[in-house]
């Protein structure tokens, strides 16, 4: 049994073709990471849209194969660029993290760009020196943890944990101005616990982010709250948006 099947959502993905290099490049084109090279296009928004696209179209097993193919192309580009540096004495001048982002970006720009720069690594070198790459196409690749979130159980457990933590807040001591924020968070966590992820985040997501910012400052003075309570609710909003809406 596959990991995806154990999570109970293998049948949600329509497999149109085997996960091979041809399908890999079609999916990369659909993600359109190359658009991040245009002024004003957010790399964070791009990789969130990309992750949503992949997690919607691929089973967990296919996503793993997609990542293997990606790593193969990325590794080949890295070897070609390292060889170019040795032959010419040129240095791309980027650190380890930026080196990984550079290679990921080149793959993310699609087959045509990738094959051109693989054949002529001086183009990748110039890209590095001019810092014409974004962080990071690699973030668009969904993990097993992302598929676990999509299955719902993990998100519901987190909502229940935060609901329990909210019961620890001394409401009788809470300023009246904060009670509206408190109710907004409860209106979000309740439906999430019941599995209504998309409706909850669409209706209350923005209010929760604002409300938690106000509640954090006040609740820090009260003992007994788990440390991740302070940002855990915000992270729950962000995870639901990323996995289910691609934003």
Domain ranges in the chain are: 3-144, 152-245
Structure tokens that stand for 135 in this block: 């962080």
| Angstrom distance (rounded) from CA 118 to CA 133 | 16
For 104-143, b/e burial (b = at least 16 CB within 10 A) is bbbbbbbbebbeebbeebebbbebbeeeebbbbbbbbbbe
CA dihedral 208, 212, 213, 215 (to 10 degrees): 140
State the residue for tokens 């807040």. Answer: 169
Q: How far is CA 77 from CA 57, 72, 111, 114, 212, in A?
A: 26, 9, 12, 8, 44
> 197 and 116 in contact (C-beta within 8 Å)?
no
| pLDDT for res 8 | 38
| pLDDT for res 229 | 61
| Angstrom distance (rounded) from CA 102 to CA 32 | 16
**How do the pLDDT tens digits run along the chain, 247 residues long?**
333 333 334 434 445 578 999 999 999 999 999 998 887 788 888 999 999 999 999 999 999 999 999 999 999 999 999 999 999 999 998 888 999 999 999 999 999 999 999 999 999 999 999 999 998 999 999 999 999 999 999 999 999 999 988 877 777 878 888 889 889 999 999 999 999 999 999 999 999 999 888 888 777 666 554 445 668 999 999 999 999 999 8
| pLDDT for res 16 | 54
| Angstrom distance (rounded) from CA 65 to CA 96 | 25
| pLDDT for res 165 | 84
| pLDDT for res 222 | 60
> 81 and 103 in contact (C-beta within 8 Å)?
yes
| Angstrom distance (rounded) from CA 70 to CA 104 | 8
| Angstrom distance (rounded) from CA 186 to CA 22 | 46
pTM value is 0.81
């Amino acid at each position: 049994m596959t990991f995806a099947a154990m999570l109970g959502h293998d049948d949600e993905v329509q497999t149109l073709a085997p996960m091979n290099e041809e399908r890999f490049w079609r999916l990369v084109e659909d993600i359109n990471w190359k658009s991040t090279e245009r002024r004003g296009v957010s790399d964070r928004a791009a990789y969130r849209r990309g992750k949503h696209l992949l997690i919607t179209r691929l089973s967990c097993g296919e996503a793993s194969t997609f990542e293997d193919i990606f790593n193969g192309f990325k590794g080949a580009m890295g070897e070609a660029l390292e060889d170019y540096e040795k032959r010419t004495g040129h240095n791309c001048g980027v650190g380890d993290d930026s080196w990984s982002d550079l290679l990921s970006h080149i793959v993310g720009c699609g087959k045509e760009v990738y094959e051109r720069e693989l054949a002529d690594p001086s183009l990748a070198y110039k890209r590095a020196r001019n810092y014409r790459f974004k962080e990071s196409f690699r973030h668009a690749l969904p993990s097993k943890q992302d598929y676990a979130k999509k299955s719902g159980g993990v998100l519901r457990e987190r909502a229940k944990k935060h609901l329990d933590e909210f019961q620890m807040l001394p409401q009788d001591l809470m300023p009246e101005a904060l009670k509206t924020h408190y109710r907004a968070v409860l209106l979000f966590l309740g439906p999430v616990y019941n599995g209504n992820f998309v409706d909850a985040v669409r209706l209350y997501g923005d209010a929760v982010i604002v409300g938690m910012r106000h509640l954090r400052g006040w609740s820090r003075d009260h003992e007994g709250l788990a440390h991740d309570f302070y940002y855990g609710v915000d992270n729950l909003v962000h995870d639901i948006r990323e996995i289910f809406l691609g934003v």
